Amino acid sequence: MMSIPKESESIINLLVEEEKIKLKDFLKEKVEISSRLFKKLIKQNNIYINDSLLGDIYYVTSGDVVTIVLEDEKAVYEPQKMDLDVIYEDLDILVINKKPRILVHPTKNHPNNTLTNGIQYYFQSKSINKKVRLVNRLDRDTSGILVVAKNSYGHQQMAKQFTEGIEKKYIAVVKGILRKDHGIIDLPIGKEKDGVKNIVIDTGKESITEYKVIEKLKNSTIVELKIITGRTHQIRVHLSHINHPIIGDILYGGDSELIDRQALHSYYLKFKTPRKHEEIKLVAELPKDMKELINNLK
């Protein structure tokens, strides 16, 4: 027996409104818990109904309270104090406006001072005893919206939305003036043979990028971009291929003395919150270096 605790990053309480429904079906319909997570929770004895531990063969009825317990976890990476620009937070996710020139995840050659280390410290300071689960990734030199799950449920819910096609938009400053104010680049992307770049190639995977001109400058253009598919370096590859590389993108032909990284920022995200399924629209402010670049190009 357990008394129903207050909701937290580790506790989810769900009120049953249906007359009678199998527990597994209720969790799938109510909060879209995957079969994999459901089996894990049952195996760990972490689902309770009205204070009582029950298994997946049981039914729930109107007025019942289903409590899900998400176990504490040990930190995988070293916590390191870092200044994080948090633009949204609830019990399941943390959304950060990532600064440029910082790695998101530790690597063999760069095991510390990454965003993941900073997020682990943030979790520790808030007594969130969970691993850092990155929902999306950004290149080291790309700034903007990064979604982090605070538990396995939040990660499953947000990963599902990203897989199904979440609405996210980027802003880039590119070389030259685009002739069309709006267009779709539908060109397959694959790995360059014996190289480090991705390129447009017939044998590549389907890759679709939609763009819209925001402002035309003297010899450059500010562009809003939506990626319909999610290939590595997709925006950078597509813009380079149509001869409008992102300014500052040395790898794809946009080298510039005006900025020391690609002028690409993930600025908009629309999603539904994992627990209440409320629609949220977030906008991440442009970083200082991109604002200065635009002023210098006017």
pLDDT higher than 90, residue 108: no
Q: Are the CB atoms for 50 and 64 separated by under 8 Å?
A: yes
Instruction: Report pLDDT digits (tens) over 255-266.
Output: 999 999 999 999
Q: Say yes or no to pLDDT of 30 above 90.
A: no
> pTM of the full predicted structure?
0.91
CATH 2.60.34.10 fits 11-69, yes or no: no
* Architecture of the domain made up of 168-265: 2-Layer Sandwich (3.30)
Tell me the domain boundaries of the chain.
11-69, 72-164, 168-265
pLDDT of 57 reads: 64
Inform me whether the pLDDT recorded for 159 exceeds 60. Answer: yes
CA 286 to chain centre: 17
Percent of the chain with pLDDT over 70: 98
As a whole number of angstroms, the distance between CA 180 and CA 201 comes to: 23
pLDDT at 1 over 60: no
pLDDT on residue 230? 82
| Residue 47 and residue 68 in contact, taking contact as beta carbons nearer than 8 Å | yes
What percentage of residues in the chain have a pLDDT greater than 90?
76
- Residue range 230-248: mean pLDDT, rounded: 95
What local confidence, expressed as pLDDT, does residue 178 receive?
Answer: 96
Q: What is the C-alpha separation between 91 and 96, in angstroms, rounded?
A: 15
C-alpha 201/C-alpha 55 separation (Å) is 51
Structure confidence at residue 135 (pLDDT): 96
Would you state the pLDDT for residue 29? 83
pLDDT digits (tens, 9 = 90+) for 129-148: 999 999 999 999 999 999 99
Residue with tokens 């409008």: 244
Given phi > 0 = left and psi -120 to 50 = alpha, else beta, which region is 158?
alpha
What pLDDT is stored for residue 262 in this prediction? 97
Helix (H) or strand (E) holding 264: strand 264-272
Token pair of 189 as six digits = 């992307």
Alpha-carbon gap, residue 84 to 89, rounded angstroms: 12
Task: State the chain's mean pLDDT as an integer.
Answer: 93
168-265 shares the fold of 72-164:
yes
Specify whether the CB–CB gap between 7 and 91 falls below 8 A. yes
At the second CATH level, the architecture of 72-164 is 2-Layer Sandwich (3.30)
Q: What's the whole-number mean pLDDT along residues 85-112?
A: 95
Q: In this predicted structure, what is the pLDDT of residue 139? A: 92
**Beta-ladder partners of 184:** 210
Could you tell me which residue, 224 or 59, shows the higher pLDDT?
224
**Which phi-psi region, left, alpha or beta, contains residue 258 (left: φ > 0; alpha: ψ -120 to 50)?**
alpha
Residue 295 has pLDDT above 60, yes or no: yes
Could you list the active site residues?
A: 139
Segment 51-79 mean pLDDT: 87
Q: How far, in Å, CA of 214 to CA of 204, rounded?
A: 30
- What pLDDT is attached to residue 56? 59
Query: Which phi-psi region, left, alpha or beta, contains residue 29 (left: φ > 0; alpha: ψ -120 to 50)?
Result: alpha
Q: What is the pLDDT of residue 105?
A: 93
Q: What is the DSSP track for 243-255? A: T-PBTT-TTTT--
- R_g (Cα) of the chain, nearest Å: 22
pLDDT bucket at 58, cuts 50 / 70 / 90: confident
Q: What is the pLDDT of residue 2?
A: 59
